[in-house]
């Protein structure tokens, strides 16, 4: 699974304020790691605006709706939670997402 791929992710079995249900998510773990591990790290998306940098970043339209990466929702998940692929972020979008992740995690 390539870093920057947007996939349907089953995030059910959560507790508030965790993001749940099946929703698009962006794979942010490294492609080389994704090839050998049974897990990936994803940032879930939401269709609820607005963009609030660095916590929420507009990333385009997926599944027919405007999508916002919800940076605080970052989590490691089993690959068994992954569903269909929806697309990929551009290099520029992935660089913006990386900047938001760095700002959030420092």
- Owning domain of residue 60: 5-105
pLDDT for position 12:
86
Q: How confident is the model at residue 14 (pLDDT cuts 50, 70, 90)?
A: low
pLDDT digits (tens, 9 = 90+) for 16-64: 665 668 999 999 999 999 999 999 999 999 999 999 999 999 999 999 9
**How many CA within 13 A on the CB side of residue 70?**
17
pLDDT digits (tens, 9 = 90+) for 61-104: 999 999 999 999 999 999 999 999 999 999 999 999 999 999 99
pTM: 0.93
How many distinct structural domains can be found in the chain?
Answer: 1
CATH code of the domain containing 78: 2.30.30.110
* Secondary structure class of 88 (helix, strand, coil): strand
Helix, strand, coil shares of the chain, percent, nearest 5, are 25, 40, 30
């Amino acid at each position: 699974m390539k870093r920057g791929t947007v996939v349907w992710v089953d995030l059910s079995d959560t507790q508030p304020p965790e993001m749940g249900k099946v929703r698009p998510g962006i794979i942010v773990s490294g492609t080389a790691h994704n090839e050998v591990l049974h897990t990936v790290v994803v940032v879930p998306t939401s269709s609820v605006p607005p963009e609030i940098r660095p916590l929420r970043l507009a990333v385009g339209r997926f599944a027919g709706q405007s999508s916002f990466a919800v940076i605080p929702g970052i989590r490691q998940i089993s690959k068994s939670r992954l569903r269909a692929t929806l697309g990929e972020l551009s290099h520029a979008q992935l660089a913006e997402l990386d900047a938001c992740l760095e700002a959030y995690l420092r």
